[in-house]
């Protein structure tokens, strides 16, 4: 008999919540007494393991009308999973050798936007909604990476400009809701983005006001006076939950939870304390409210996200399905440690009290968590949208200050090798990227010539901007490392890198005094 044949018929819901095993933590507040105060666009796994958990904790501590109405802009699956469960779902926190489960009650339900765009706009425009939050990934903002401005040629933006009452894009929904709030006198609102974009609040404000100027010209002054766009930095690893894990959880809990998620113990949320109206007491449950999040977001993008992407591309090419498998290979672990410390951290100016060496160690520990398999393929998705923020910021800093770029260059070269869409055994890679077709075409035209490949990829100004393609030092590094990857493969290339790094760099980046030792090796 298969496991699926023995699964419980009962599903998690408000009616069955009390039947959970005693060791499963559940909401310690009256959900029915807490109204909706937040509408969240992009209610995927990350949001439900991050902001929704902070909000659940805040409701436990202070109660209040702060439950979340989720909106799915693209995928019906989440609404189909959560709505029959009254918005309830289990979060399993896994660390090496141990796990704990809790049910989150902060989500009131989910709207699937394409079914009823007007209902989504109405919910965002409701006076009870004081916060509109977003987790839509980099590509959801419809930004031209080369300029940082709203991409007016994006198909969704073209549609929304022509049909502002029935939007498809997140910015189209935001502007429609703000126009409704202005018309109805619904009061001020905070638009809080939780995506990995530098100065993410400023980015959202810029694209919202750009779109509004084209569709609702009289809205701009109202936005200035009634809308806040705080920046934020978020961090928690949330790998996909395999179907077998969902089934095993159902057997343990005695009921099915098709929306169950898994995550790590670590969580971090830094928010610029700039709100247009009231908000949950997130700072009482671990969030950090600050005047300026720039250092925290840049540190996270360069140290964590940059090394994570590097491990994904190199690990995948080396045959590692999961990050923890890559970390079990000494040269890959050493490479990640080197990139984090000797390049990413070395590009930062930490404020007083910030311990980058401690953060470096915590990142490595998180990557090694074998209880939480995080697929390299999943992390490798949408690289053209991620590389500029995660790796090229570090590169630009060190090019300006004559610092080290070899590790970041190898990581970018690994991305170039990955998007060639053929692995080291000659098998096709199904590259998930908005530019996948264009990247494959460039690679096919250039063949196996690393110089031609680098020349072609550097021509993508939406990724590399107008400056980097003309930097000979970066070009030479990329040609060298891509050539090594093509000739020797990822694992041998990283071993070669580790030998060179060991000969030129001390183990602790804080001890480096001679800047010349940071240069190319």
Q: Please give the full DSSP string across 294-314, using - where no structure is assigned.
A: HHHHHHIIIIIIHHHHHHHHH
How far apart CA 277 and CA 274 sit, in angstroms, is 9
CB 176 within 8 A of CB 121: yes
- Mean pLDDT lowest among 141-145, 188-192, 253-257, 442-446: 141-145
Q: What is the CATH number of the domain that holds 412?
A: 1.10.1040.10
Q: Do 151 and 171 sit in the same domain of this protein?
A: yes
Residues 500 and 354 grouped into a single domain: yes
For residue 195, the enclosing domain spans 4-290
Has residue 3 got a pLDDT over 70? no
- CATH number for position 73: 3.40.50.720
438 & 339 share domain = yes
- Smallest CA-to-CA distance from 302 within 509, 75, 12, 47 is with 509
| 36 and 49 share one domain | yes
> Which of 18, 188, 180, 7 is CA-nearest to residue 105?
18
Q: What is the pLDDT of residue 314?
A: 98
Q: How far apart are CA 436 and CA 303, in angstroms?
A: 26
| 245 in the same domain as 186 | yes
Residues 254 and 298 in one domain: no
User: Is residue 115 predicted with pLDDT exceeding 50?
Assistant: yes
How many domains does the structure of the chain reveal?
A: 2
- Domain shared by 174 and 28, yes or no: yes
Q: How confident is the model at residue 299 (pLDDT cuts 50, 70, 90)?
A: very high
Q: What are phi and psi of 471, to 5 degrees?
A: -90, 110
Whole-angstrom distance, CA of residue 26 vs CA of residue 451: 57
CB 60 within 8 A of CB 229: no
194 and 257 fall within a common domain: yes
Residues 274 and 395 in one domain: no
Residue 521: pLDDT band with limits 50, 70, 90: very low
Instruction: Supply the pLDDT for residue 513.
Output: 33
Total count of residues recorded for the chain: 521
Among 290, 319, 348, residue at a domain's last position: 290
pLDDT score for 514: 34
Using the predicted structure, report yes or no on whether residue 100 has a pLDDT greater than 80. yes
On whether both 392 and 247 belong to a single domain, the answer is no
Domain finish residue from 290, 318, 338: 290
Token digits for 383?
């690289």
Bridge partners (DSSP) listed for residue 234: 269
Residue 4 banded pLDDT, cuts 50, 70, 90: low
Statement to judge: residues 457 and 351 lie in one domain: yes
| 459 has pLDDT over 50 | yes
Show which of 255, 290, 325 is a domain's final residue: 290
Same domain (yes/no): 362, 424: yes
| CB 413 within 8 Å of CB 485 | yes
Q: At a CB cut-off of 8 Å and minimum separation 6, what does 425 contact?
A: none
Looking at every residue in the chain, the average pLDDT score rounds to 93
pTM over 0.75: yes
């Amino acid at each position: 008999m298969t496991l699926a044949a023995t699964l419980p018929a009962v599903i998690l819901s408000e009616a069955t919540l009390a039947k959970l095993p005693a060791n499963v933590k559940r909401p310690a507040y009256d959900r029915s007494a807490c109204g909706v105060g937040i509408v969240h666009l992009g209610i995927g796994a990350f949001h439900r393991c991050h902001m929704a958990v902070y909000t659940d904790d805040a409701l436990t501590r202070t109660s209040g009308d702060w439950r979340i109405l989720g909106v799915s802009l693209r995928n019906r699956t989440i609404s189909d999973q959560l709505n029959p469960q009254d918005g309830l779902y289990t979060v399993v926190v896994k660390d090496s050798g141990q796990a704990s489960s809790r049910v989150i009650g902060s989500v009131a339900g989910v709207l699937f936007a394409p079914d009823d765009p007007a209902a989504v706009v109405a919910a965002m425009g409701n006076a009870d909604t004081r916060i509109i939050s977003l987790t839509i990934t980099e590509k959801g903002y419809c930004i031209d990476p080369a300029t940082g401005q709203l991409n007016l040629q994006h198909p969704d933006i073209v549609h929304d400009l022509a049909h502002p009452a029935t939007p498809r894009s997140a910015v189209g929904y935001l502007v429609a809701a703000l126009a409704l709030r202005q018309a109805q006198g619904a009061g001020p609102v905070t638009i809080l983005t939780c995506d990995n974009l530098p100065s993410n609040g400023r980015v959202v404000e810029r694209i919202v006001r750009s779109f509004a100027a084209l569709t609702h010209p009289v809205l701009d002054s109202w936005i200035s006076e009634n809308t806040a766009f705080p920046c934020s930095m978020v961090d928690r690893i949330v790998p996909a939950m395999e179907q077998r894990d969902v089934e095993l959880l159902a057997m343990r809990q005695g009921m099915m939870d098709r929306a169950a998620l898994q995550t790590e113990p670590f969580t971090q949320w830094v928010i610029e304390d700039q709100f247009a109206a009231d908000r949950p007491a997130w700072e009482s449950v671990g969030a950090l409210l600050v005047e300026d999040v720039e250092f925290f977001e840049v540190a996270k993008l360069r140290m964590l996200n940059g090394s994570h992407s590097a491990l994904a591309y190199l690990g995948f090419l080396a045959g590692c399905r999961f990050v923890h498998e890559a970390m079990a290979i000494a040269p890959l672990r050493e490479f990640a440690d080197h990139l984090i410390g000797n390049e990413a951290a070395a590009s930062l100016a930490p404020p007083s009290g910030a311990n980058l060496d401690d953060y470096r160690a915590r990142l490595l520990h998180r990557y090694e968590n074998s209880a939480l398999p995080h697929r390299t393929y999943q992390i490798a998705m949408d690289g053209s949208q991620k590389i500029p923020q995660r790796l090229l910021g570090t590169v630009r800093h060190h090019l300006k200050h004559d610092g080290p770029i070899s590790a970041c260059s190898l990581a970018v070269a690994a991305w170039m090798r990955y998007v060639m869409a053929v692995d080291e055994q000659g098998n096709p890679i199904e590259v998930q990227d908005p530019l996948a077709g264009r990247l494959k075409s460039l690679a096919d035209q250039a063949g196996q010539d690393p110089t031609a490949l680098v020349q072609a990829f550097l021509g993508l100004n939406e990724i590399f901007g107008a400056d980097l393609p003309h930097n000979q030092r970066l070009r030479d590094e990329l040609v060298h490392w891509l050539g090594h990857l093509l000739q020797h493969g990822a694992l041998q290339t990283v071993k070669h890198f580790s030998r060179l790094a060991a000969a030129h760099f001390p183990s602790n980046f804080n001890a480096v005094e001679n800047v010349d030792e940071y240069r190319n090796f």
